[in-house]
Each structure stands twice: as structure tokens, then as C-alpha cells.
Amino acid sequence: MKTLKLVPVNTSIGFIRHRTIAMVLSSLLVVASVFVFLANGLNFGIDFRGGTLIEASSESAVDLAALRGRLGALDLGEVQIQEFGKETDVLIRIAEKEGATDASNNLSAVEQVREELSSDFDVRRVEIVGPQVSAELIQTGIMAVLAAIASMLIYIWFRFEWQFSIGAVLALVHDVALTIGVFALLQLDFNLSILAAILTIVGYSMNDTVVVYDRVRENLRKYKKMDLAELLNIAINETLSRTVMTSVTTMLALLALYILGGEVIRGFTFAMIWGVIVGTYSSIFIASPLLMLLGVKRDWSGTQVD
Amino acid sequence: MLHFSNFKITGIALLLLLGVLFALPNFMREETRLSLPGIIPSGTLNLGLDLQGGSHLLLAVDTDTVQRERLEDLTSDIRLALRGERIGYSGLARVPSGVSVTIRDNGDMEKAASVLQGLAQPVTSSVLTSFEQRADLSVENTEGQTFVLLVTEDAIAARNTRTVQQSIEIIRRRVDELGTTEPTIQRQGEKRILVQVPGLDDPERLKALLGQTAKMNFHLVDQSVSGYEVVNGKRPPAGSRLVYTDTEPQVPYVIRRRAMVSGERLVDASVGFDPQTNAPEVNFRFDALGGRKFGEVTQANVGRPFAIVLDDKIISAPIIQTAILGGSGRITGNFSVEEANDLAILLRAGALPAPMSILEERTVGPGLGADSVAAGRIALIVGFLAVIGFMIVSYSLFGLFANVALIANLVLIMAVLSGLQATLTLPGIAGIVLTVGMAVDANVLIFERIREELASGKNPIIAIDMGYSRALSTIFDANVTTLLAAIILFQLGSGPIRGFAITLAIGIVTSVFTAFVLTRLLVSLWLRRQGKPEALPI
């Protein structure tokens, strides 16, 4: 039986030769992401900004303008209404009132909306996050991403050499920056599950990078005299088939989730899909070429092969 | 690498069997499941609130109120103690977490010191592990003739713990009255309580029940001045104060500060109906002491009104018609049946020791939960089939081995989740689908390595052997990084996110086992039947 090979045997693409292009491109993208983030900011969901989110579903297609009028009459402050997945479903967001200390304002708002909608809508989900909790979530969120990156840094340092750990972590920062950039650019809802996605991306991208690095280390032991650029290129090409295969299987699973998994986790899956693309790219084009820049130890004779 | 002793094979088979056993209850009907003999596991996946519907409420206990009350008590204790010893003082004042007092006469200083020191009590708390008994007050002569009495950190912590524990107890009683199944009520952090109630239709009622302190007291109405006069600027007489009714429009009353009977004396409350008007009312009963007190006061005040005050709002202000001696009475406010019922629940459960506020609410209706389960299931099946197909197309027979491992992996994930009674959330389902995509990674690594070894001219059996052994360290490193991310995610997360971290972590561990050990066994068994193959179907 003839098997499918996405990457032909003996593929040899000059990844390292074109490293400058990749580096420049990535640097530009990271700078652009930072710029978009500073200019647009993130469209924080209620997890991080506080406020109320109500998902409601109706028997027939919803007239958004009419609904806006009805809820506007309740005088709840800033109310956003958008279609959610289907034209019969809506997502209503009510912003936190200035100077609130607990969720009591939001609670009465929910009661009013529930009453207003009770005749023709089914309220499917209510989420209220008070200002105290949202401030904590921002803090723990930032801490978690930093802790994840730091633990990777230490682990890779421990298992490899410091050059590898710097290279891997720069690739991670690149992935996280680009993910935040795309959310800032498209103004997608940035909530707790997106943060979970970013942490998973950190894990996934690291996974990819480690596989390439492992091969680099093996080749460093095998070819003691080979030019570093060529050695790195061989390592990337040797693992390329695996990199592509795993990205494809992961992508298949993620696409199934994105298309069929329902509206609630669509943001999460979108972030993951984006992260897999960026993570795969960075472990090929960024993580290994960075080893060129940082320079690696060539004499591995003293270390054990495990 | 390819040699498996019979002992090892039996071990792997047993582990898989155990996995099937633990996963199986999830596919049984409820009756079959419950009729299983005791030694066979019958636990199923716990669906999270986002999948079965329900309410998640995070409450903050306002412990500051309790500490403030403590300082008020302390102030009056100091006053009484100094007066009792005829020690002159001035400037009895509140300072942050304490009280300061200045003694007038220098000659009294020593006596004052010992009197004030006598107010300190040992901290009674289960929190303190040391045998050393610490005092709840520190008394210091800060400057000149001024003493500062500070409530110690230990005492504050002990009191906060007690307040939160009492609150949890009261909340449990109130929630139990709603008759829902398996609510979870737990302390979170220092001053917070997490309440999770699955399958609740009306979270508004739950919130109404939890949002009230439900401190009820009976006060006499001060008739020397009318409520409206006080509203218009007249000072209420000493020992009386102004309170409004909870009706619309609010009616002001002047009531005596001192309660004639405290709500703590209530032992029972239930809903009844007024025999004449058929309006809902709440019947209550006092304990012996409260009943006697209530009897005495009503006897002495026939014809005068009294006020039933709930959380500083008057819910009823009837005229005492006759002495109420039986120790029971009724409240006829303007209740709907549900309001009367809720009030009865609140009175039965008792008052909260401190006010609470709601910090966070997440409620999912049962409809959305069911939709999410259905969507998650479809996504899992489709993602699973796509990956399986792709693996066969890419690695033929070896792909099939990987697929067997993938199925075993899903069974094991389900088994571990059921065995641990972990909660499956929607992001958790996403974690499983993601695991399906990523679990084959270990096999991809191994198979690609085998192909490389074959390409370099090694014979098939050696190539397989080297493929497995060389890929091992890569598989290990690659999975540890993902596991680290999952652990951090677990630390960070609440509810649903935690569910994702758990399934991701379990999936990583089980996938390494199935991909590395199980496929190797399958390959080894296949090789035994093949003898020495010329080429590999990979």
C-alpha cells in the first residue's frame, strides 16, 4: 500500500539560508502586533472588564434594532447586542457601571433584562463578573502566562543549554505576541478561555520547538565538524515531516471543533488554530535560526546521550 | 525495545481492561448502572455546570462588619470596666483595629493597666495549631496616660474564619430548602464562598435567598413622636431611631433601639393562610425564653403597635390585640405565596452573621448545556474520524496501530475522569478533542523515525527498535512542556478552565502510555506472526 507523504523523503529546503527574511518578517509582525495592541487595545470580555453577559435565544430571527430599542429603554448604561452564531440567538453585553464595588448593579440589570425578554426569548446563559473579580482575573492571567513562559525557560535550560532556552522562549513570546495582535486587530472578544488557549499554544509551540531542538542536539553530537547553518538545516528538514503531520492532525481536530463545537467555544478554537499555525511557523523559522544568532556549544563529547 | 515478557503483556491488558471497566458506566442506562454489584465501578463523568445547566455564584462575606461590631463591643466593655473600678478616663476613641483611652489620674495608671489587661481573652480557634494560647487583645501604654487596645491579627483571623464558617452553614440550610440536587458550597480564599447549584431553573430566587442577611427582630414602636415628624427634621427620642417599611411608598416609623425579642429566639417558621382573607402569612414560633419574653412584652403593651424588622426594614407593624402567650405568632405582610415561603425559609435557616455580596455569577440554562454536549460530541466524533482516516492514509498498518492506541487513549481518559469523579466541562471536551489531534504526535515521531532508519538502510526490525528508543527522549521532553502548561492552567483556572486543564493533563499522560507502550506491543505481536519482514507497511 502506497502511503501518503506530505513531505517527500529527503526533502532539503534551505530554511536557514532564508533566515533573514523570516527574522525580518517576524520582527515586523511582532512590532505590528504591539502597535495594534497599543492603538486598538483588546476587546476585553466581561471576565476581565467586569459586567454582564446574557445569551438569549428566540423562536424566530431576531430584529436587532428593535431589541436594541427595547433594552435601551431600560436605561442600563452601555448595552451591546450582537447576533450569536445563528440569527435566532443574541448576545447582550452590559458594561460595568463606573465606581461599582460589587455585582449588585449588574444583578438588577439582569433581572430587568430577564423580565423584558421573558415573553419572546429563552435566556440561555447569564454571566456576571464584578469589578473585584475581574481585576483579580487580569492579574492571575498575566501571572499565569509569565509563569508558563518562565517554567519553559527553566525546563529547556535544564534539559538543553541556555542558548536553546533563550531561543525557545523568544519563539514563544513571538507566538503569544502575534496571537494577542490578531485579537487586537480583529477586536475579537478576549476572555478567560482565550487566555486558556494562549497557555495551550505556549505548550503546543514549545512541544514543536523541543522536537526540532532535540534533533539539533543529536546532530551536534553526530556531526562534530559540520557548519552550524547546515547542521540546523538538516535537523529542521529531518523533523519537517513530523512537524507537518502533527500540525495537520491537530488542525483536523481543531477544525472539527471550530465548525461543529458550538458558538460558546468558537473564540477558543479560533485562537488555538491561529496558535498552531504561528507555533509551527515559529519553531521552524524562528526557534532554530535563533540558535545561529546565539551560537551554541559545539563540543558535546562530555554529555551523555540519553 | 520490542521484547515483551508475558508478565508485561498481562499487565498492559489488565490496565486496559480496568480502563474499559471504569469507562463503561458512562454508556449504560441509569437503571443498569445502579444495579451493578458493588465491586464494579459505577461512577460516571460529572458534567460541569456549563454542560448540565446550573448556577455558579461567588459570594464575599463582609467580615469588616463583624470586626466593626467587635470594636463597638470593646468600646462598651472598656467603659463598663473602667467605671466599675471608678477610674476616670477621657477620649475613649476608635483607632484602626482598636480603641484608645486616656486615663485622667496618673495614680490610676497601674490599676487601669490591670483592668484593661483583664479584658483580653485567649483566642479560641481551630486555626491555631500551636499550644501557646494567644490573647485576642494587645494592651499598650503608648504615650503619657493613653492606652491603646488593639485586636490581634490572630483574633481577627479567628473571627473571620468563624464568620465564614457560620455563613456557609446558613447558606447550606437555605439552599437545601430549594430542594436541588447536590449543591456544592465551599470556602474560597479567606472571605469568599463559592456556591454551585446544578440544574436550577430560577437563579433569581437563589440570589434573593442568598443576598439577604435575614436578621429579624421585634421592636416596640415609639409613639411619642411620629415617623413623619422625624423625617422633617425632628430628633428622635434617645433610645429610638427611624426605620422605613419595605412597602412602596415607604412609611417611616420611630422604633425603640432595643429589640423586645431578638430573631435568634425563633425556632420555626412556616407558611400559612389567613383564615378570613386567605392571604399568605408566615407563622413563627419562639423557644421557651423568647416565648416568655414575647408574652411579657405583649401583655404590658396591649393596644400599642410593634414592628417586625427584617434587615433594617419593617415588614409588618401590627397593633398588639391581646397578650401573645403561646410563644408563637404570625406575620401578615403584603406577601405573595412565594415571598411568604422565602421568608419562612430565611427565618428557619437563621440569619447570616455578616452581610454578603455577590461578586460573580455564571448561570447556564439546561437547554444550552444540552446543546453544548451535543455539539461537543459531534465535534469529537468528526475530529476523531478525520484523524483516524488521515493516520491510515499516512502510515497504513502502522497507522492502524496508532488508531487502536488512540481509541484506547479515549477510553482511558474517560476512565480516569470517571474514576477521579472529575468534572467534564465544555472546554474539557475541547481538551479531549485537542488531545485526539495531539495524541498521535508521539506515534508520528516514532513512525517518522522508523522511516528515517529504514531509509538509511537498516533492516526493519532494527529500524523499529531504534525508532522507538530514539524517539523516547523527544516524546518525553515534548510532553513535559505541554504538561507544565496544563498545570499552570489548572492553578489559574476556575470551573470550566480547570476542566480543560484536567482533561489536557490526563490526555497527555494516557497518550504517552498508549502511543509509546501499546503501539509497541501491537507492533511486537505483529512481528512475532510475520517472522522477519522484508519491508514495513509504514
Domain CATH number, residue B246: 3.30.1360.200
Written in H, E and C, the secondary structure of chain A is CCCCCCCCCCCCCCCCCCHHHHHHHHHHHHHHHHHHHHHHCCEECHHHHCEEEEEEEECCCCCHHHHHHHHHCCCCCCEEEEEECEEEEEEEEEECCCCCCCCHHHHHHHHHHHHHHCCCEEEEEEEEECHHHHHHHHHHHHHHHHHHHHHHHHHHHHHCCHHHHHHHHHHHHHHHHHHHHHHHHHCCEECHHHHHHHHHHHHHHHHHHHHHHHHHHHHHHHCCCCCHHHHHHHHHHHHHHHHHHHHHHHHHHHHHHHHHCCCCCHHHHHHHHHHHHHHHHHHHHHHHHHHHHHCCCCCCCCCCCC
Q: Closest approach of chain A CAs to the CA of B170, in angstroms?
A: 21
Statement to judge: residues B281 and B312 lie in one domain: yes
Statement to judge: residues B243 and B276 lie in one domain: yes
Q: Which residue of A has its CA nearest to B455?
A: A9
Contacts of A283 in chain B (CB under 8 A): none
The model's pLDDT over A38-55, given as tens digits with 9 standing for 90+, comes to: 999 998 888 888 888 999
Classify residue B169: in a domain, yes or no.
no
Residue A132 has pLDDT above 80, yes or no: yes
Q: Closest approach of chain A CAs to the CA of B210, in angstroms?
A: 13
Other Cβ atoms less than 10 A from the Cβ of B76: the count is 10
Q: Is B114 helix (H, G, I), strand (E, B) or coil?
A: helix
Classify residue B204: in a domain, yes or no.
no
The candidate with the shortest Cα–Cα distance to A114, out of A169, A76, A170, A66, is A76
Q: Running DSSP on this structure, what letter comes out for residue B459?
A: -
CATH number, domain containing residue B509? 1.20.1640.10
Q: Is B259 helix (H, G, I), strand (E, B) or coil?
A: coil
Contacts of A102 in chain B (CB under 8 A): 60, 357-359
Contacts of A114 in chain B (CB under 8 A): 204
Q: Is B430 helix (H, G, I), strand (E, B) or coil?
A: helix
The pLDDT value recorded for residue A187 is 92
The pLDDT value recorded for residue A209 is 92
Q: Say which amino acid occupies B206.
A: L
Which is higher by pLDDT, A85 or A96?
A85
State how far the Cα of A181 lies from the Cα of A173, in Å rounded to an integer.
Answer: 12
Statement to judge: residues B509 and B394 lie in one domain: yes
Cβ of A122 within 8 Å of Cβ of B365? The answer is: yes
Q: Closest approach of chain B CAs to the CA of A185, in angstroms?
A: 25
Classify residue B170: in a domain, yes or no.
no
Residue with cell 488508531: B403
From residue B21, alpha-carbon distances to B27, B38, B461 in Å are 11, 13, 35
pTM passes above 0.80? yes
Contacts of B190 in chain A (CB under 8 A): none
Phi, psi of B302 (to 5 degrees): -60, 135
Residue A252 has pLDDT above 90, yes or no: yes
The candidate with the shortest Cα–Cα distance to B1, out of B516, B399, B396, is B516
Cβ of B437 within 8 Å of Cβ of A249? The answer is: yes
Strands B240-244 vs B252-256: parallel, antiparallel or unpaired: antiparallel
pLDDT class of A303 with cuts at 50, 70, 90: low
The pLDDT value recorded for residue A306 is 46
Of the partner residues A193, A241, A262, the one whose CB lies closest to the CB of residue B375: A262
State how far the Cα of B372 lies from the Cα of B367, in Å rounded to an integer.
Answer: 9
Q: Tell me which of B112, B129, B157 is where a domain ends.
A: B157
Classify residue B140: in a domain, yes or no.
yes
The distance from CA A173 to its chain's CA centroid, rounded to whole angstroms, is 11
Classify residue B126: in a domain, yes or no.
yes
Could you tell me if A128 and A103 are in contact, meaning their C-beta atoms sit under 8 angstroms apart? yes
Residue A146 has pLDDT above 70, yes or no: yes
Contacts of B390 in chain A (CB under 8 A): 248-249, 252
Cβ of A252 within 8 Å of Cβ of B485? The answer is: no
Helix (H) or strand (E) holding B90: strand B89-95
Contacts of B387 in chain A (CB under 8 A): 249, 252-253
A204 close to B (CB below 8 A)? yes
Of the partner residues A148, A248, A257, the one whose CB lies closest to the CB of residue B390: A248
Statement to judge: residues B150 and B96 lie in one domain: yes
Q: Say which amino acid occupies A136.
A: E
Q: Is B479 helix (H, G, I), strand (E, B) or coil?
A: helix
Q: Mean pLDDT in chain A?
A: 87
List B358's β-bridge partners, or say none. Answer: B59
Interface test with A, best of B441, B504, B509 (most A CBs within 10 A): B441
The candidate with the shortest Cα–Cα distance to B311, out of B401, B360, B243, is B243
The pLDDT value recorded for residue A99 is 63
Question: For B187, how many CA atoms within 13 A lie in the half-sphere containing its CB?
Answer: 15
Cβ of B474 within 8 Å of Cβ of A248? The answer is: no
The pLDDT value recorded for residue A100 is 63
Other Cβ atoms less than 10 A from the Cβ of B344: the count is 23
Contacts of A251 in chain B (CB under 8 A): 437
Contacts of A57 in chain B (CB under 8 A): 367
Tell me which residue range forms the domain holding B455.
6-48+367-530
The model's pLDDT over A203-238, given as tens digits with 9 standing for 90+, comes to: 889 889 999 999 999 999 888 888 998 999 999 999
Statement to judge: residues B415 and B327 lie in one domain: no
Average pLDDT score over residue span A188-192: 89
The pLDDT value recorded for residue A98 is 66
Cβ of A261 within 8 Å of Cβ of B375? The answer is: yes
A147 close to B (CB below 8 A)? yes
The pLDDT value recorded for residue B386 is 94
Statement to judge: residues B391 and B310 lie in one domain: no
Cβ of A200 within 8 Å of Cβ of B489? The answer is: yes
Statement to judge: residues B259 and B308 lie in one domain: yes
Average pLDDT score over residue span A21-40: 94
Statement to judge: residues B348 and B383 lie in one domain: no
Phi, psi of B46 (to 5 degrees): -85, 120
Domain count, chain B: 3
A121 is written with which cell numbers? 426569548
Q: Which residue of A has its CA nearest to B204?
A: A111
The pLDDT value recorded for residue A305 is 47
Could you tell me if A119 and B354 are in contact, meaning their C-beta atoms sit under 8 angstroms apart? no
Other Cβ atoms less than 10 A from the Cβ of B47: the count is 20
State how far the Cα of A212 lies from the Cα of B114, in Å rounded to an integer.
Answer: 75
Q: Is B457 helix (H, G, I), strand (E, B) or coil?
A: coil
Interface test with A, best of B194, B373, B487, B488 (most A CBs within 10 A): B488
The distance from CA B164 to its chain's CA centroid, rounded to whole angstroms, is 12
Classify residue B388: in a domain, yes or no.
yes
A192 close to B (CB below 8 A)? yes
Cβ of A261 within 8 Å of Cβ of B480? The answer is: no
Statement to judge: residues B474 and B447 lie in one domain: yes
Residue with cell 495608671: B109
Classify residue B403: in a domain, yes or no.
yes
Q: Say which amino acid occupies A281.
A: Y
The pLDDT value recorded for residue B125 is 54
Residue-range domains of chain A with CATH: 19-44+134-294 (1.20.1640.10), 51-129 (3.30.70.3400)
Could you tell me if B54 and B200 are in contact, meaning their C-beta atoms sit under 8 angstroms apart? yes
A8 close to B (CB below 8 A)? no
pLDDT class of A1 with cuts at 50, 70, 90: low
Statement to judge: residues B17 and B106 lie in one domain: no
Contacts for B296 with CB less than 8 Å, ≥ 6 apart: none
Classify residue B385: in a domain, yes or no.
yes
The pLDDT value recorded for residue B399 is 93
Alpha-carbon dihedral angle through residues A150, A156, A158, A159, given to the nearest 10 degrees: 160
Cβ of A207 within 8 Å of Cβ of B482? The answer is: yes
Statement to judge: residues B409 and B455 lie in one domain: yes
Contacts of A3 in chain B (CB under 8 A): 393-396, 399, 538
Contacts of A200 in chain B (CB under 8 A): 434, 485, 489, 500, 504
Statement to judge: residues B253 and B371 lie in one domain: no
Could you tell me if B213 and B353 are in contact, meaning their C-beta atoms sit under 8 angstroms apart? no
Of the partner residues A107, A148, A211, the one whose CB lies closest to the CB of residue B478: A211
Of the partner residues B371, B437, B496, the one whose CB lies closest to the CB of residue A252: B437
Q: Among the residues of B24-177, which ranges form H helices?
A: 30-34, 49-52, 63-84, 109-117, 153-177
Contacts of B437 in chain A (CB under 8 A): 249-254
Cβ of A148 within 8 Å of Cβ of B488? The answer is: yes
Q: Tell me which of B110, B125, B157 is where a domain ends.
A: B157
Q: Tell me which of B93, B123, B157 is where a domain ends.
A: B157
B469 is written with which cell numbers? 528508543
A140 close to B (CB below 8 A)? yes
Interface test with B, best of A238, A252, A280, A283 (most B CBs within 10 A): A252
Could you tell me if B88 and B105 are in contact, meaning their C-beta atoms sit under 8 angstroms apart? yes
Burial of A38 (0-12, 13-18, 19+ CB in 10 A): exposed
pLDDT tens per residue, chain B (538 residues)?
678 888 889 999 999 999 998 888 888 887 788 787 777 787 788 888 888 888 989 999 998 888 888 888 888 888 888 888 888 888 888 888 889 998 888 888 888 888 888 888 877 655 545 555 677 888 888 888 888 998 888 888 888 888 999 899 989 888 888 777 678 899 988 889 999 888 776 777 888 888 788 888 889 998 888 888 888 888 888 888 899 988 878 889 999 888 888 888 888 888 888 888 888 889 888 888 888 888 998 888 888 898 989 888 898 888 888 888 888 888 887 788 888 888 888 888 888 888 888 888 888 988 888 888 899 999 999 999 999 999 999 999 999 999 999 999 999 999 999 988 888 888 888 888 888 888 889 999 999 999 999 988 889 999 999 999 989 988 988 888 888 888 988 887 766 678 888 888 999 999 999 999 999 999 999 988 887 777 788 8
Q: Closest approach of chain B CAs to the CA of A4, in angstroms?
A: 5
Cβ of A207 within 8 Å of Cβ of B478? The answer is: yes
B423 is written with which cell numbers? 468534572
Contacts of A254 in chain B (CB under 8 A): 383, 433-434, 437
A37 close to B (CB below 8 A)? no
A56 close to B (CB below 8 A)? no
